[in-house]
Structure 1
């Protein structure tokens, strides 16, 4: 019998399900396998410890840091500035 009211834990259950879906999606996009022995950008040797720590690694630490830095700046300002709101 439907009462029309959500249970006490309905909101938390929905949050948990959303988080679980995001984790599954992220894990499915992760690389796997032994990885490369040399960086595909600069051809530097990738240490064995990094290849064991990061499955499917394709970049050395320096190139990965540059890649992460470049990717972090490619977004847009969701909040906007006062100047953009006044125009």
Structure 2
């Protein structure tokens, strides 16, 4: 698909870059090593099932949920730079 001054495939390159960035971010959030027995935020014990399911876990479910709410509130990357995408 031709896009004016853009070379063919430029849109797909942007999509691929966005996906690669999201995968890299998700991998960086994965825990590494042994899980903590107690939450680093509230010092509550982390259940054994959670420690086995998520290697390297450091937070209890409640604290992890709060952290994810804060992260979701921040916006994503605006690759397009258009006015419409900046106004959201």
Please, what TM-score do these two structures have when normalized by structure 1? 0.56
Relative to structure 1, is the Cα distance of residues 29 and 40 closer, same or farther in structure 2, using a 3 angstrom cutoff? closer
**Which residues of structure 2 form unaligned runs of 5+?**
76-85
Aligned-CA RMSD value: 3.2
Relative to structure 1, is the Cα distance of residues 5 and 44 closer, same or farther in structure 2, using a 3 angstrom cutoff? closer
**How many residue pairs end up in the alignment?**
74
Cα pair 1:38 1:58 within 8 Å, conserved = yes
Distance 2:28 2:66 in 1: 24
Relative to structure 1, is the Cα distance of residues 5 and 43 closer, same or farther in structure 2, using a 3 angstrom cutoff? closer
Extract structure 1 runs of 4+ deviating beyond 3 A: 66-69, 72-76
Partner of 1:48: 48
Cα pair 1:36 1:51 within 8 Å, conserved = yes
Q: Rg: which structure is higher?
A: 1
Relative to structure 1, is the Cα distance of residues 18 and 62 closer, same or farther in structure 2, using a 3 angstrom cutoff? closer
Query: What SS does the corresponding residue of 2:26 show, helix, strand or coil?
Result: helix
**Which residues of structure 1 form unaligned runs of 5+?**
81-87
Please, what TM-score do these two structures have when normalized by structure 2? 0.56
